[in-house]
């Protein structure tokens, strides 16, 4: 048995379907939900740790791809360069988990790496390139 952590991006038409339930039954997998975020009529984002045989994991991920679920391996971290950050707040609007937020007392951006799912939306959004991807 092996485990793999993945970030799944569900298109709007799939957010109310039992995709994960069907997948774990069909491919005999165990799963642990690490993070979940669903915006009605927009997108679903799910960070899972999947456990099963290598073949079952490969087949399950192929099944998800066929359903147009975007799959991202959770093999990277997001880091924030405080020297480049101007605390503009652009990243806070786009962060789906609230890992980036503005401290209401100091008006400084706070980055909670524990909440981060490495979706990279903040990296693309930051006009000052203060958010970066670090590969493990």
Phi, psi of 114 (to 5 degrees): -65, -30
pLDDT at 4: 87
Give dist(CA 8, CA 60) in Å, integer.
12
Quick count: other Cβ atoms within 10 Å of Cβ 44?
Answer: 21
Fold of the domain built from segment(s) 2-73:
Alpha-Beta Plaits (3.30.70)
Tell which wins on pLDDT, 114 or 68: 68
Tell which wins on pLDDT, 41 or 92: 92
Give dist(CA 58, CA 81) in Å, integer.
36
Mean per-residue pLDDT for 86-113?
94
pLDDT at 83: 96
Q: What is the pLDDT of residues 23-70, one digit of tens each?
A: 999 999 999 998 787 877 778 888 888 999 999 999 999 999 999 999
Mean pLDDT of the chain: 90
Give dist(CA 133, CA 123) in Å, integer.
7
pLDDT at 60: 97
The partner residues of 9 in beta bridges, in order of sequence, read 45, 70
Mean per-residue pLDDT for 89-94?
95
Fold of the domain built from segment(s) 76-135:
Alpha-Beta Plaits (3.30.70)
Tell which wins on pLDDT, 114 or 106: 106
What is the location of CATH 3.30.70.20 in the chain? Answer: 76-135
What is the location of CATH 3.30.70.260 in the chain? Answer: 2-73
User: Nearest Cα to 115, choosing from 100, 94, 134, 135?
Assistant: 100
pLDDT at 14 > cutoff 70? yes
Mean per-residue pLDDT for 102-114?
92
């Amino acid at each position: 048995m092996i485990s793999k952590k993945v970030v799944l991006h569900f298109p709007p038409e799939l957010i109310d379907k039992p995709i994960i339930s069907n997948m774990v039954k069909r491919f005999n997998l165990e799963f642990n939900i690490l993070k979940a975020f669903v915006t009605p009529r927009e997108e679903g984002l799910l960070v899972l740790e999947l456990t099963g045989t290598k073949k079952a994991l490969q087949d399950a991920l192929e099944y998800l791809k066929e359903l147009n679920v975007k799959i991202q391996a959770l093999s990277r971290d997001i880091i924030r360069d405080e020297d480049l950050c101007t605390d503009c707040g652009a990243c806070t609007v786009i962060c789906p988990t609230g890992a980036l937020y503005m401290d209401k007392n100091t008006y400084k951006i706070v980055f909670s790496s524990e909440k981060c799912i490495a979706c990279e939306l903040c990296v693309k959004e930051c006009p000052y390139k203060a958010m970066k991807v670090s590969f493990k």
